[in-house]
A and B are shown apart, each in its own frame.
Chain A
């Protein structure tokens, strides 16, 4: 017999007995029954209590609650849709940012025991330049350190480089990473197919495919092992496929193929000055990082090298390497953290908004809840039912948010990667992401559901107790809704201020006077040279430039060693000035680049005096240079320095011109002293820079390729971008912050508008009798509008004040990400406050005006 039936039968028997006895005492049948029931209490509740003893009862109850909740949502689809959509937005934004952050910043490399890994840094000092720290080593140095080390096993890897892959008559570009033969084994990464490199592969032309490339290009063909592909024309044998979750030691890169050092020219492998490898090591169990650094440093210093640092400074340092070494991370870790905080606020905002919605719904469910309480449901049981409904919403919102978030993370990486070759992250939703989304959703469900549910049930308990309960309940609701509106106003003002701060930063950076014209008319062309080929300075370049300038639509062409906006440029030190006292070599420093003829005309940096460099500035005597204003001011105390000179690296240079200060590499810093040496007196160019006029620059790239091949078949054209695009790349970080934070700012302000609208409309509806009475007694419509609006003015003002205070208190943390304004910029704070007030006022005005148009006669009659 089922326990339920058992109890029911027992209770029935009890009642029968009781009734019989009371009748025997002389009571009427009806009176006896009433008295017996009263003595027993609520039979439904007794049955429920007995049923609750069962350990499965909670599942039954949960299923019941879920069924009930689904029915509730089917009856109010608009509410359900709004709630799920705003949750999906909040959860999706969190999932997206977390996904990128987890892949690039948080997760250790997917290798064995990542915490044993270290990354090697070296300190070096090029002739006449300052000391630098770098993670780039040459192949001879890798071999030297590897063989000398007893404390650490060293692995080497290049950064990814574009190569062309020929396979079955199809040539396409891809990214290759050159690694040492112990790279996979040392990191503890097993192959998905075939084998990894071993010591026997030293010098062999072998390749391992990246998993995603294998899937995309080879259709996951398992027969791929042993086949030959040509990388930049050199045949390689495929020996394996890398594991699916592994994409190198540098998050943000995803190599299509890993190769042995056979991809490099033999000369490049012998050249100690050619630094292109990142060294990672696995510390042996009994060794400390300090021991390893000492040991490696001694071996490193043992070899005479031109760029050795002064004795006494440790040449090698070890950093923890569990997360690898990632340029992507260095650049985007800070913005991602700011965005993560931002999206957390967006989610809290969405929760506050939903709580408001649920409270309004509570008003319409008053009758249902009161009835359920009246027939014996415990308040806790109803709170649980309401919470189940919230969690159902949260689950639906979380599922939609997960889809949105995975898509959003891809979109985000696309946004960042625009124009930056090779930036790619493995964003496949994994268990961590699922766990994150699930816990965020659950948290959100409790956050927005609990308070309204408790409030509702409590106010209805009051309804049952007090005749005037309706009024008590209503004021409690109103107070809570006001509080929620205040919270929303505070959050919206913070996010709006963030949007304005980052938007202004982007604008300031993009619209500052850079001192040069970086427009879409200037092309930057990376030159590729055959392996080991290094043409002598001034031999090929003049002919190439003349040939380029003959192309129709080319206004002027020049060449550079580093390239405008490509980096901060090199630095030189130890400058000497004839006729002045000798300066401390460390103090006599300047930034420098080596540029070709007509450089200043081409990139649009105005010359204040003197002349541009020309084809004649070749050969050794006299060496010429152009310096910028900052250089002239610093070393000559005047902007008129043309005709004077300096000595660097034991060679005297004549200053033939003074250029206006320009933001050359770093868009944020103030102009530093800079020397432009003549490239024709130095070496071959890395890049060409070409100003076009009257044509779409895209139309001449073909002609440029032809010209380069014609003049020097051993060189070819690599990447081609316009300077406008390069500027865009330089601002990728700022654009990311500006776009997303303004988007979140706008979304939250819209949510505030929805909240204010709903609250004012609700309050106007509950006060319709009072309003009708006031209108009937002659109150003006303006007075009525104001009386309705006034209710929310206090919470919004308080929220606004708190939000602004939070910006002032917490703004510091983003100072480094701003440009041209501080985190407490008065304009931004005022703009955010006014923006919020305007939107909130407009959103409140609509229902308030509608309330003032009530027909008093009708309201009072109803």
Chain B
């Protein structure tokens, strides 16, 4: 059971990162992974083993839509784009995330001279 808890925790974060990445426009799986990796300066390595299941999960929930398109050198790739529902979901998740890191940050780096 411990294992599934851990995946879920990662899942939530990965989902949010994928949605955030797609805010810039449609992208295929590999581009999404690379973007996350490059933006975080390789701090976050995206496991392809969990990326594709995550994409299909998000698609199933209606937050992103996938479509096979040949954009690049005639090769057909599956491009994902954010849906309206996905945009809303991302906004909710982002504000939750900010609240979370602000709270954690207050504990980790207390303001000088504060009571606590």
Contact = CB atoms under 8 A, between A and B. Distances in A.
Contact of A46 (B28, B30, B53, B60): B53
Contacts of B75: 13, 16-17
B10 to A, nearest CB: 13
Contacts of A50: 52-53, 56
A6 B77 CA distance: 11
Interface stretch (A22-30, A34-42, A119-127): A34-42
Contacts of B78: 6, 9-10, 13
A3 interface: yes
Nearest to B7: A49
Interface string A1-22: 0010011011101101110000
Nearest to A17: B30
A183 to B, nearest CB: 58
Interface in B43-77: 47-50, 52-53, 56-57, 60, 68, 75-77
B29 interface: yes
A42 B50 CA distance: 11
A816 interface: no
B26 to A, nearest CB: 15
Q: How large is the interface on B (under 10, 10 to 19, 20 to 34, 35 or more residues)?
A: 10 to 19
A331 B8 CA distance: 59
Interface class of chain B by DSSP: helix
B79 to A, nearest CB: 11
Interface string B66-100: 00100000011110000000000000000000000
A39 B48 contact: yes
A45 interface: yes
Contacts of A18: 30
B52 A10 contact: yes
A53 interface: yes
Which of B28, B47, B48 has the largest count of A CB atoms less than 10 A from its CB? B48
B30 A14 contact: yes
B37 to A, nearest CB: 11
Given A10-B78, A40-B48, A41-B48, A49 B53 contact: yes
Contacts of A39: 48
Interface string A284-318: 00000000000000000000000000000000000
A518 to B, nearest CB: 66
Contacts of B52: 7, 10-11, 46, 49-50
Interface residues of A, number: 21
A18 B49 CA distance: 15
A562 B68 CA distance: 97
A20 to B, nearest CB: 9
Contacts of B68: 9
A46 B57 contact: no
A616 B40 CA distance: 121
Contact of A41 (B29, B49, B57, B76): B49
A53 B56 contact: yes
A46 B77 contact: no
Given A13-B75, A40-B48, A53 B53 contact: yes
A468 B52 CA distance: 36
Nearest to B73: A20
A39 B75 CA distance: 21
Contact of B47 (A3, A41, A53): A41
B29 A46 contact: no
Given A13-B75, A13-B77, A16-B75, A3 B48 contact: no
A41 B46 CA distance: 11
B69 to A, nearest CB: 11
B53 A14 contact: no
Interface in A172-193: none
Given A7-B52, A10-B78, A53 B30 contact: no
B76 A46 contact: no
B29 A14 contact: yes
B78 to A, nearest CB: 5
A9 B29 CA distance: 12
B54 to A, nearest CB: 10
Nearest to B75: A13
Contacts of B29: 10, 14
Contact of B48 (A6, A9, A46): A46
Contacts of B28: 13
Contact of B49 (A7, A16, A42, A52): A42
B32 to A, nearest CB: 11
B19 to A, nearest CB: 17
Contacts of A6: 78
B56 A3 contact: yes
A11 to B, nearest CB: 7
Given A16-B75, A18-B30, A53 B57 contact: yes
A143 B14 CA distance: 83
Contacts of B76: 13
Contacts of A52: 53
A14 B78 CA distance: 10
B46 to A, nearest CB: 11
Contacts of A46: 48-49, 52-53
A505 to B, nearest CB: 50
Contacts of A49: 49-50, 52-53
Nearest to A11: B52
Among the interface residues A6, A13, A39, which one has the most CB atoms of the partner chain B within 10 A? A13
A16 to B, nearest CB: 7
B20 to A, nearest CB: 21
Contacts of A16: 75
A9 B66 CA distance: 13
Nearest to A1: B68
B77 A45 contact: no
Nearest to A380: B3
A525 B78 CA distance: 96
Contacts of A14: 29-30, 48
B71 to A, nearest CB: 12
B48 A7 contact: no
B61 to A, nearest CB: 10
A743 B13 CA distance: 62
Contacts of B30: 14, 17-18
A49 B76 CA distance: 23
A730 B47 CA distance: 77
A410 to B, nearest CB: 46
Contacts of A45: 49
Nearest to B60: A53
B56 A7 contact: yes
Contacts of A53: 53, 56-57, 60
Q: Which of B49, B50, B56, B60 has the most CB of A within 10 A?
A: B56
Contacts of B56: 3, 7, 50, 53
A351 B47 CA distance: 43
Contacts of B50: 49
Nearest to A41: B49
A13 B77 CA distance: 7
A4 to B, nearest CB: 11
Contacts of B47: 41
A13 B71 CA distance: 13
A16 B30 CA distance: 11
Contacts of B60: 53
A566 B10 CA distance: 79
A45 B51 CA distance: 12
A52 B56 CA distance: 11
A6 B29 CA distance: 13
14 contacts: A7-B52, A9-B68, A10-B52, A10-B78, A13-B76, A16-B75, A17-B75, A40-B48, A41-B48, A45-B49, A46-B48, A46-B49, A49-B49, A50-B53
Interface of B: 28-30, 47-50, 52-53, 56-57, 60, 68, 75-78
Q: Which 6 A-B pairs have the closest CB atoms?
A: A41-B49, A49-B53, A40-B48, A50-B56, A50-B53, A10-B78
Given A46-B52, A52-B53, 7 more contacts: A7-B56, A10-B29, A10-B52, A14-B48, A45-B49, A49-B50, A50-B53
Interface of A: 3, 6-7, 9-11, 13-14, 16-18, 39-42, 45-46, 49-50, 52-53
